Chains A and B, each alone.
Chain A
Amino acid sequence: MATRNSSRPRIERQIVTQDGRLRFELKRVSAGIWVGRHHLAELKQVEYAAVFSERAEFHRYLDLDELRFRYVPQFAELKRAFDDLLAIDI
């Protein structure tokens, strides 16, 4: 009898800064990694979502984000999370 595999890798991650103002959501999809970016500034909230299929492109995109200087650990964690998710076969 087939048994259910209970050790499937997580295909979603969420990374939030300590002040709660910046949140990234990542999800492994067939085309790559869906990334949602949510930023709450003083009087403005900006969210956008896109799908990245390549590691280099996502890392390049992160390296353009000015907030990477304010939230250094979270951006490092983001790169790792992206790489980990991209390595998952679906």
Chain B
Amino acid sequence: MIFSQSTSRHVHEAAGDEEFVVDATRIIQEIPNVTDGAQIVQILHRAARVLRADHAAFASFLRGHDSTESFRFLLACNPQWCLEYQQQCWFAHDPWFQYAERHSSPICASRIPLKTPSQAAVVELAERYGVASGYVVPAPSCGRVSRLGVLVLGSHQRGYFEAKESGPIKVLARSLSMELHEWWVRAARRDLVEKHRLTSEDIELLKMERDGLGSKQIADRLNTSRAAVDSRFQRICAKFQLPNRRATAHAAAEHGVI
């Protein structure tokens, strides 16, 4: 099993090391060029190592129009942790996820209050898999979407991230989280466009729908008839297998297509 190897250097010592910052930045900058799922996991491993974390996991969430929930995890940690997490259905009780839904600032996991036994159980599970100290780094989305990402860095050493939430670590972790989130959005967009064979015209129509334009306004913009616009939307909705253009535009937005 590949785990990121922690060094004896404490995180706030490493944070003052220019080389550490350069190394982390260089790895993060590779992310936009990655299209392969295997490569992105290996980048997460390398980034966690440079950030002196023993474990790292990036989770991405989005909600479909019919309340379908989609969770995706990139793991630089023991995958058994994620398997057990899924089998216990901890998604709804994860205090770190819930924190990321409402906040944008990174935080030590220990500073997130646990309000229910289920939330405590989620944290205990993480500790059992070696996360004695955790750093939770949200990657929020803007716009009317449920899409959310969160990076968790973990250490075997209790109090590791709590000792000092130093500037470079916070900035680098935030940058890593946002780049990973953007990677997921690009992958989701690519998959959706490919799956539904969307054309640039389809996407343009969906954007206008999302902007609140009606058929007549769209027809005027495209110099066509309202009937033609309605017909085009029917075909696009059929591609998505969704009941109406509003749901279709919403799905496209959630997947980063518009």
Contacts and interface: CB of A to CB of B under 8 A. Distances in A.
B1 A44 contact: no
B37 A48 contact: no
Interface residues of A, number: 27
Contacts of A49: 37-38, 40-41, 73-75
B79 A43 contact: no
B73 A34 contact: no
Interface string A14-40: 000000000001010101101110010
A44 B69 contact: yes
A87 interface: no
A70 B79 CA distance: 20
A82 B66 CA distance: 36
Interface string A39-73: 10001111111111110010011001110000000
B45 interface: yes
Given A44-B69, A50-B75, A54-B1, A64 B42 contact: no
B79 A27 contact: no
Contacts of A54: 1
B72 interface: yes
Contacts of A34: 37-38, 41-42
Contacts of B41: 34, 49-51
Contacts of B76: 50
Interface stretch (B82-90, B118-126, B208-216): B82-90
B68 A64 contact: no
Contacts of A35: 79
A21 to B, nearest CB: 13
Contacts of B84: 64
Given A32-B2, A43-B68, A53-B2, A48 B79 contact: yes
Contact of A45 (B1, B38, B69, B87): B69
Contact of A48 (B1, B42, B67, B74): B74
